Structure 1
Amino acid sequence: MRTRELGIRIGRGTPGRFNAITDVAGVRVGHHTLNVEAGEASTHTGVTIIEPRAGSARMAPCFAGCHILNGNGDATGLEWIREAGLLTTPIAYTNTHSVGVVRDALVAAERNETNGDVYWCMPVVLETYDGLLNDVWGQHVTADHVQRARAEARTGEVREGNVGGGTGMICHEFKGGIGTASRVLKPAEGGWTVGALVQANYGRRDALRVAGYPVGEVLGEVHSPFRQTEGGRTGEPGMGSIAVTLATDAPLLPHQCTRLAQRASVGIARMGGGTEDSSGDIFVAFSVGNSNLPAASYGRVGKPTTAVEMVNNDHMSALFSAAAEAVEEAIVNALLAATDMSTRGARVEAIGSERLLSALRKVGWRPDSQNR
């Protein structure tokens, strides 16, 4: 069950039809999941693809921006976003040691799909570390897995939890993974939609908050993969990362997309995250609102100017609030969708709906109560 199905209210905003990043028109999400038990070489990882528009992102680029809350992580393609303010490829999530192969697979796909009629591309690939549950050193993700994830990309409902890039992830010492949510602004605020998709793999148990309630304070007795007694690898609580993508149909310019990306930090902070040195917290935001942006001409004759729209700054606050709420709820959805995983000598429990509701009641939450 997802957050709202349990009566848990995150903020005061209204979700879209699917309460997912795919509520932003044209955005598609696909996963490919790898689950192979082979002792120390067990593989629990995958690839998640976010396509900003149907068809070629190169031929219909989006304005975009990015933000790094903490840089203990890696990504490709962000320098071009910072420089040009454009997203011209899909966005991919995977594990730390598979960034290169995923990036290379997207480059090859771009070449094949354009018959080589493009000088270069710089795919955006984000990672989080799944080495406790996955043989990350084995680099088991292949180009074929990337293409399968792309082939699965769809609008509508998005699978969450132990899927795609989120398969082997841990969040607040519970099983984590992929989560998504959205918010639709009121007509007076512009009526636009903001959607978030997270790969949640961060956070300490004792810091966990849900809807403002300190549930982590009463969940300390639940088994933690970082407090094992049988020896072997354990890591430390809070290690990992979180990758966030925000999409909107509001017509934002690149610097406004960067400002939107920054607000992912607020959603993570409300959950009790964002303060660990060992977490890479990297965020990308893009807008499909200006659908007329031209593909790069690279020497061919093209128009010297393009007319674009932008949201006035005094209307940005509602978008910021929507982004923070969507990220916060996406993380809770990831936790609720995830299932237990035991492998490689490690055991990670899912938080589960009943356990979460019990913890919320212990700290004073009621289904009809508001956020603290």
Structure 2
Amino acid sequence: MSTSSLPSEHAACPSGRPRARALGIPFDGAPGPWNAITDVPGVEVGHVTLVEGQSVRTGVTALLPRGREAVGTPCAAGWYSLNGNGEMTGTAWIEEAGSLTLPVCVTNTHAVGPVHRGIIDWVTDNHPELARQWLLPVVAETWDGYLNDISGPHVRPEHAVAAIGAAAHGPLEEGSVGGGTGMNCYGYKGGSGTASRVVGYGPDRYTVGALVQANFGERRELTIAGVPVGRHLSDDNPLEKGDWLAPGGAGSVIVMIATDAPLLPGQCKALARRVPIGLGRTGTTGGHFSGDIFLALSTANPGSLASTFPTSEPTEDDYDILRSVPWGRMDRFYEAVVQAVEEAVHNALVANTEMTGRDGHRTPALPHDRVRELLASHPDVRGTV
């Protein structure tokens, strides 16, 4: 399929950088209009990218499930850790209450503290009524220390505030942006990627979207459209050579899943548990030194799942009422998660360029032409590329 035959929102980022479909990579399922997590009604995403001098390659990504004005309105939520060598704050409360009310941010490993503070600052300034109770922000991270001066005080609370302020609907920039700026994936430049799938449910249509911060995997593992391309791309792999300390495949992956389908908190957790299947399609086996942590949320049922201080005795109508998809009909939503996660990872890889960072460390970009050649020569893919 030629790039010109694809909707621009599927083939290229707003900057014009190609996405995975521009390489002819075949994917299952029907994407939304932007093929992004922002296809889910109400979801907004913002990036702040920090590229300064020779050593700063980092940033912050913010996701607002219901937009800035509706911060504080709960969403059903659940989380899952495939491998716990990482951090996602606020998960104890998500596990307890089954809900999420605040912006979610993703950054680098050593910047979780200032970003956490930044979310609190933003909420205090914009929703002071929420700040008068308690705030348990969700901040997740992956390690960008190969390209970035990760222990320097480069990410500050105001960068989280700015990322939240920049959050918007519409097509998203991918690759080396926001929290994904300094990240690597399968020995190539990785970072931020997104995709979505539309799920038919009787007369209704729902969207499942994925946003990944991809910083994981060894070159030999990389798989695209079922083809083990990484085995044939062993050249130009500086990340698995030299004297730096992290083993190949280290770094982590954060995935956020959003949907407008009406789900219970336990069903959101079930979506999060399907994320590793989508990641596995791209080749990873989930290494010990990779923090693989996933969050899923539903924007349906506004007004339910609130945890506020009671001011009076309950009345006869003081109950939460949640509409939900029956458990026996969840399979199509699981499938959408797997499909969207797989494509989001490949978008993060394809929509990228080579980057050099601290100490002269260099990460090459995925070689588009070579990938096309490998896919075109494979019997199961030949004719679709």
Normalised by the length of structure 1, the TM-score is 0.93
Match of 1:51 in 2: 64
Q: Tell me if 1:209 matches 2:223.
A: yes
Mapping for residues 40-119 of structure 1, pairs under 5 Å: 42-115=55-128, 118-119=132-133
Aligned residues: 363
Aligned mates of 1:353, 1:221 — CA distance in 2 = 14
Code of the aligned partner of 2:124: R
Cα deviation digits, residues 75-122 of structure 1 (max 9, x gap): 101111111000111110100000011011111222222335531111
Range moving further from structure 2, 359-368 or 193-202: 359-368
Question: Which of 16, 19, 25 matches 2:35?
Answer: 19
Match of 1:335 in 2: 349
Match of 1:247 in 2: 258
Aligned mates of 2:263, 2:256 — CA distance in 1 = 15
Go from structure 1 to structure 2 and tell me whether the alpha carbon gap of 1:367 and 1:144 turns closer, same or farther (over 3 Å shift): farther
Secondary structure at the aligned position of 2:47 is classed as: strand
Aligned mates of 1:348, 1:365 — CA distance in 2 = 30
Aligned mates of 1:267, 1:168 — CA distance in 2 = 23
Match of 1:171 in 2: 185
User: How much has 1:157 moved relative to structure 2?
Assistant: 0.4
Aligned mates of 1:202, 1:189 — CA distance in 2 = 39
Go from structure 1 to structure 2 and tell me whether the alpha carbon gap of 1:333 and 1:78 turns closer, same or farther (over 3 Å shift): same
Q: Tell me if 1:314 matches 2:321.
A: no
Mapping for residues 94-243 of structure 1, pairs under 5 Å: 94-115=107-128, 118-188=132-202, 190-228=204-242, 232-233=243-244, 235-243=246-254
Match of 1:357 in 2: 372
Code of the aligned partner of 1:85: G
Cα deviation digits, residues 305-324 of structure 1 (max 9, x gap): 12110101121000000000
Match of 1:32 in 2: 48
Aligned mates of 1:35, 1:58 — CA distance in 2 = 29
Report the aligned-residue RMSD. Answer: 1.8
Secondary structure at the aligned position of 1:130 is classed as: coil
Aligned mates of 1:101, 1:200 — CA distance in 2 = 21
Unaligned runs of 5+ in 1: none
Normalised by the length of structure 2, the TM-score is 0.90
Question: Which of 351, 357, 360 matches 1:345?
Answer: 360
Aligned mates of 2:293, 2:219 — CA distance in 1 = 21
Match of 1:2 in 2: 19
Tell me if structure 2 keeps the 8 A contact 1:214–1:363: no
Tell me if structure 2 keeps the 8 A contact 1:132–1:234: no
Identity of aligned residues (%): 44
User: How much has 1:135 moved relative to structure 2?
Assistant: 0.4
User: How much has 1:339 moved relative to structure 2?
Assistant: 1.1
Mapping for residues 232-311 of structure 1, pairs under 5 Å: 232-233=243-244, 235-293=246-304, 295-301=306-312, 304-311=318-325
Code of the aligned partner of 2:196: S
